[in-house]
Structure 1
Amino acid sequence: MLVVEKRRIHPNIKTILRSIVCLVREPENLDHIYDLEDGLRDTKASLLALEWLNTQPEVAQLIQERYIAPPPDIEALLQYPQDSLGYAYAVYIQKAGFDPSFYRTIQVEDNVSYFLLRVRQTHDIWHVVTGFKTDTNGEIGLKAFELAQTRRNLAVFLVGAAMLATLATSPQALPNLLKQIILGYQMGEKAKPLFAQKWEENWEKPLLQWRSELGIEVSL
């Protein structure tokens, strides 16, 4: 008698699927992204990504320490030297009209939740350091970079959703999107782990020095 093995469906599958559909329809709605990330939080892929991250000593140390920095003072950072990361970040935030604490907060209860909070906290710093813009191609290029650096499952979904949305609405733009994805992934593979960095303790360090030390070549 043939026995068919029943595969357990993840309890958050409805949330995940609904978030994906909403994200394809409204790719710039951050709530859909956070809903998707929250739905993916307790999946096996998240745990495997965390296991892989912990094989990197610098990253493992930060996760164990659960380092969290206070929200940056943009006005104070604007007083830093103009070649510094702090100044570049402050100008980036100011020009874009962003709130540096815009991200959805999450209670740190374990290593997975700490990882998610720290990634959200430093997202725009990664933009500045890697040089990826905040348009669709730039965001997805950065997600490809994150994928190479962290194996984060959200990055897989967002890259896939962007490709599907572009194919459906602007197929002529797909080649440029693919170039950004390839570029981002290759940059992420070559660079040292950005997640391990305590950026906020070294705002004064020149941006070019950060890029040199981390092995990031900006050619966007």
Structure 2
Amino acid sequence: MASHHSLSQCRAVLAQSSLARPGQVRSAVVAVAGLPVSPCTSSSERPRSFSVLNRPPPNYPGHIPLTRVERLALTVGSGLASFFNPYRGDMIAAFGEVTATPYFIYRLRDAMLADRTGRRILRDRPRMTSSSLNLDRLRALPPNTVGREYVGWLDREGVSPDTRPDVHYIDDAECAYVMQRYRECHDFYHALTGLPIVREGEIALKAFEFANTLLPMTGLSTLSILTVKRRERERFFATYLPWALRNGLRAKEVINVYWEEQLERDVDDLRAELRIERPPDMRDIRKKERREKKRAQKVAEIKTDSPSVAV
């Protein structure tokens, strides 16, 4: 009897539906029939799609989500800027981030997960700064230790571990840390190999990093060898590129080195463990070239200034 009464009420409501809004009819029918009321989301309340004007919340502090168009534009712009001006650290950093996804940074993260030390690094997430490394303590370490070599390289090149920018454009928080770790370990790679921060040295180290990490930015950065002097380009292809490929491919994954725990270790022992041989000293080679160039210029000046002998 009750169900028959409810059915009659529903018919009455439906009879008036031409005068009511669809939402009102639905609410009335549900109320009369005694059905559970479920929330109804209007089109204005539905989540808006990801766009320039509607970005999702960041996944970690400093994260900047990008649309596909923005990512493509940043890839092209930062790539060109890095090629023509390799000292634009901000552009190199951005180019490294936007080209590392979707595959390469995950491959590097998986390499860390497959290694016992790499897993500890991901769990601890240490950061490298001048205060966390205590550079004064490193300067007091015995010669030929990793820490002494590292801080000596910093002092010689006039750089600081505090200059590495934070990651912004990698969406996954753990992968963002992997990129940050690679970035902050870069100076240790310099110290381990002895390569200076001049353009020629950076290109050689990037070739080594590409062979070891497979990050696209490191490989594409080697194209800037086309912008250096002819003698430097010849030396790169004859000496440093073969060294970089040979050592980068056979060495252990350098991203898995817990550098903070290796500071008091003999640097030669660490090189042997990682299977990395030190390349020819680029600074010495460049100094010798400058001396030879000056000597040749002086000889040319003497010949020019000497009076010609009449026959």
TM exceeding 0.5: yes
Verify the 8 A CA contact 2:206 2:218 in the aligned structure 1.
Answer: yes
The structural deviation recorded for 1:188 is 0.8
Verify the 8 A CA contact 2:207 2:245 in the aligned structure 1.
Answer: yes
* 1:189 counterpart (243, 249, 256): 249
For the pair 1:132 / 2:132, whether they are aligned, the reply is: no
Residues of 2 paired with 1:172 and 1:95: CA distance? 24
- The residue aligned with 1:3 is none
Q: Which has the higher contact order (CA 8 A, sep 6+)?
A: 1
- Are the structure 2 counterparts of residues 141 and 125 from structure 1 closer, same or farther at C-alpha, using a change threshold of 3 Å? same
For the pair 1:61 / 2:119, whether they are aligned, the reply is: yes
User: 1:93-116 deviations in whole A, cap 9, x for unaligned?
Assistant: 112221111100237952321111
Verify the 8 A CA contact 1:40 1:154 in the aligned structure 2.
Answer: yes
- Are the structure 2 counterparts of residues 144 and 103 from structure 1 closer, same or farther at C-alpha, using a change threshold of 3 Å? same
For the pair 1:80 / 2:138, whether they are aligned, the reply is: no
Verify the 8 A CA contact 2:207 2:241 in the aligned structure 1.
Answer: yes
TM-score by length of 1: 0.82
- The residue aligned with 1:99 is 160
TM-score by length of 2: 0.60
Amino acid at match of 1:138: G
- The residue aligned with 1:33 is 92
Tell me which structure has the larger Cα radius of gyration. Answer: 2
Verify the 8 A CA contact 1:59 1:193 in the aligned structure 2.
Answer: no
For the pair 1:112 / 2:175, whether they are aligned, the reply is: yes
Verify the 8 A CA contact 1:23 1:33 in the aligned structure 2.
Answer: yes
Task: State the identity as a percent.
Answer: 20
Name stretches of at least 5 consecutive residues in structure 1 with no aligned partner. 1-8
Residues of 2 paired with 1:174 and 1:148: CA distance? 19
- Poorly superposed stretches of 4+, deviation over 6 Å: none
User: 1:191-217 deviations in whole A, cap 9, x for unaligned?
Assistant: 122111111112110111111111111
Name stretches of at least 5 consecutive residues in structure 2 with no aligned partner. 1-66, 281-311
Q: Number of residue pairs matched? A: 207
The structural deviation recorded for 1:38 is 3.0
Could you say what secondary structure the match of 1:210 adopts?
A: helix
Verify the 8 A CA contact 2:196 2:202 in the aligned structure 1.
Answer: yes
